[in-house]
Structure 1
Amino acid sequence: MGSLQSPEHHPTSSGSLASPLSSNGHHGGSPPLKDVSSEIRITRPGTPPPTAIFSSGMQRRLSLSFEDGNVAILAGKSYFLVHRGFLSRQSEYLAELTKDNYSCPTMTLEGRPVLHLPDSPEDISLLLHSMYDGLSSLMALESSLRVASILLRLSAKYAMEHLFNDTLAILYKAWPTSLTQWTRRERQLPRVNSEAARAISLPHPITIVNLAREVDAIELIPAAFYDLCRLLPSVVATGHTDPFDLTSHSLTSSDLVLLFQGREAASRFFSTFVVNELENRRASETCINRRQPDPAQRRLCTGAFQLITYELLQDVNGLITGRTADPLFAMQEVLNLQADSGTPESRNMFRACDSCRQELVVSVHAARNKFWDSLPEWFGVEVTHWG
């Protein structure tokens, strides 16, 4: 997922440094890295005593190094002095990695056996913070969704089931499996590629699709694909460059085909909805306007449906709201246009009578539910629990 500022250097929205993440007194806020000429000792069974090898660029991460730590995790040119037993409790995979290194170390740092992990120091810092201080301490950061995506990959890589499930639950809030959760998400989260999205470090859905494939979290994919449907196809095909580390991300050719096929299916569904539920919609049998003596009054409800149709068609390509293709939002707009009762001096031309409006609400909700239920099929993804 690329590098990210470690929590000890993460800025808050006010521009100041984040408050200390630790709740157990292990470390304070924003401590400096300890830059040492680290002594790395190499030992092999049956060889003479180890010789000292010095590396001038090694840095000890003070915020995640403990004097009673008995193993050193090395990531890049940074290392962390932590507790082997604690690592082993969190992950059987890490337990196996440290077992051989501890019983017969080939490298030591400050007298501790070294576990060399091929991840960035920033990512390992996040992982260790989640282990020692709890995931909730990291979720207070504005970049919580980016942090969760990084931790999901690492927890899958190192077989940390508890952390995997917790971070997956966090990402489900942004790319959920139910329409109710999606509607809530749309009220709380900004659109992808918007300034507000970048301000809170919302991961790009391309990275979410690729991550979901990597860790077998398929349930994330339909909502992430739908997120991508709201971008121009040319933008999606070009890929995404992460502004944090300038890493380029793109969909695989097979996922790109699935996305465009699903986008076309969603577009056809919305076109059918507009024709069947709006353009040719008749007034309710109990419509109070259809019994008015004035012909203009009798056409108020059907006229409202036609005005809504025109409103949706002119906005379907994002001319007003900036959305290129968002049928769920457009269908919700039908209800929003009906909500304002207007005033005696300025009647809401989009608003039908109570009977017509109630029937329209039922139709819109049914269409939105059917649309959402169809997403996995349209995008060619098999999801066990959806909707």
Structure 2
Amino acid sequence: MSTDVKYYCVIHFIRHPSSGLLGLPDLQQNRSSISSVAGSLRHSTSIFHCEAPALHSVIAFFFLSSSLMDGKSNQASCRPVAFMPLIRSDFWFLDGNIIIVAGQAAFKVHRGQLQRHSDILNGLFSIPQPEDQELIDGCVSVVFHDSPSDVFYFLSALYDGLYFKTPRADDFMAIAGVLRLSTKYFVEHLRQRCLKRLDLDWPSTLSGWDRREHEATDSFGRYMPRELCPHPILVIELALDLGINSILPAAFYDLARYGPSKIMTGALMPPLAIDQFIPLVPDAKQQVVTLPRTQLCQTLRGREYVQSFMANFIATSLQSRTPSPDCVYQFDPDPSRPCHESFYFIMLNVLRSVGGIACGRDADSLFTLTQAMEMLSRTDFSDGQRQCGLRMCHPCKVDFATSAMKAREEVWSSLPTWFDLKGYDTMDSSGV
């Protein structure tokens, strides 16, 4: 008869950046070495350390199985049953007193730093632990069932602060990770800082949206929103996951400005900070995030509402527009002809903008209406011989500008309804 006994071994290996784990093949092939390790673990768990300069360390966990044979044979045989390397992250303080394990990543940090900022973690670490608990590098370990990248960003914010010198789309993964864990572990000051940044990028006011769009346009007039803000699909996913309803209207509107095929294609997941520590699977493709069917239908339906509104504005406020009662040209032989011609010219340019021909911005009614108002003061049009401005009279310009501004406010306040966002009745278009 034989009795199977499983031992738990913690071995500290050395990993070279280009050659993976060193020493692991020898251990797997040399059964006598493994047997001797297992023999030393019959009554306790051992920790072995190897040190070498200029090499990255990896903490490797093994489950070793040994058969204790009856009779004359006293030689134990064992083999590795499972192997999962724990990769040491940048957060590995020599004076740390607790190790956080998240996925394959290990973080050696200070218990007091986490307890100081989070009542949840303070309560977790205050739970009495068994005296014979396994130690890693001489410290108690705690498993976080969170993404390693989220833990990395969260610890970075706790130790180094959360600062953004210049808003960039690359900040989003850090913001999302910190927001998820600061919400989960009740670290309110980090949570509020993340929410404030999201409100700047995805505002709930029309004036905030106009500011964002201005910042996304460089000095040469090139519109580059994805350098300033992340792809809206990533934002929608985060907002729905954490219940951040205030940023959803702006995110859905931003997404609806893409063509339907691009909306359905999804967004590439940006690289994560932890990727430099955890080896990627060879030939692994970058993850693509797509909207669930419900949110996809919301986006496309909202896009139809936006375009329908713009079509109605063109028909009522441009194509069949009546000049102002105070029109300067109303008593001419051909009453108000310069104003009618100007309205027609604006309509043609608006149609080009709606189709995305002029600026490549599909279904962006807010931008289109702004462009229409800017045409009133432009002087770079051509009549075939020279540059000039529209011949529209001042009262008609004021009248049309008022209509366009009201239309922009109506678009903004209608976004929650058009995109079927629950919990919203109106959006703030006052700019407050």
| Interval of TM-score (by shorter of Structure 1 and Structure 2) | 0.7 to 0.9
Normalising by structure 1, report the TM-score: 0.77
Is the partner of 2:357 in helix, strand or coil?
coil
**Aligned mates of 1:241, 1:308 — CA distance in 2:** 38
Deviation string 1:324-350 (CA, Å, 9 cap, x unpaired) is 211111111111211224599845454
Unaligned runs of 5+ in 1: 1-31, 43-52
Q: Matches of residues 57-76 of structure 1 in structure 2 within 5 Å?
A: 57-62=85-90, 64-76=91-103
Q: Does 1:244 align with 2:271?
A: yes
State how far apart, in whole Å, the 2-side matches of 1:285 and 1:347 are. 29
Find the aligned partners of 1:340 and 1:195 in 2 and give their Cα distance: 20
3-state SS, counterpart of residue 106 of structure 2 = strand
Cα deviation, 1:82-116, whole Å, max 9, x if unaligned, reads 22222123222222333337676733222221122
CA contact (8 A) 1:230 1:323 kept: yes
For the Cα contact (< 8 Å) 2:216–2:228, is it kept in 1?
no
The Cα shift of 1:38 comes to 4.0
| Deviation for aligned residue 1:304 | 0.6
What's the counterpart of residue 321 of structure 1? 359
**Where in structure 2 are there 5+ consecutive unaligned residues?**
1-52, 64-79, 273-285
Deviates most, 72-81 or 369-378: 72-81
Alignment of 1:295-310 (within 5 A): 295=334, 298-310=336-348
> Displacement, 1:33?
9.4
Which deviations, in whole Å up to 9, do the C-alpha atoms of 1:153-202 show, x marking residues without a partner? 232333333222211111111211111000111111269xx99455x374
Q: Is 1:277 matched with 2:317?
A: yes
Describe how 1:1-387 pairs up with structure 2 within 5 A. Answer: 35-36=56-57, 38=59, 57-62=85-90, 64-100=91-127, 106-136=133-163, 143-189=170-216, 196-197=224-225, 200=227, 202-242=229-269, 244=271, 246-292=286-332, 295=334, 298-341=336-379, 346=386, 348-350=388-390, 352-381=392-421, 382-383=423-424, 386-387=427-428
Aligned residue number for residue 49 of structure 1: none
Deviations 1:336-375 (A, max 9, x none): 2112245998454545222211121111111101110011
1:284 partner SS: coil
**Residues 362 and 138 (structure 1 numbering): CA distance in 2 closer, same or farther, change over 3 Å?**
closer
Q: SS in structure 2 opposite 1:270?
A: helix
TM-score in terms of structure 2 length: 0.69
- 1:250: Cα distance to partner? 1.5
Q: How many equivalent pairs are there?
A: 340
- Percent sequence identity is 31
Q: Is the 8 A contact 1:71 1:113 kept in 2?
A: yes
Q: 1:140 to 1:306 in 2, by over 3 A?
A: closer
Q: Tell me if structure 2 keeps the 8 A contact 1:175–1:220.
A: yes
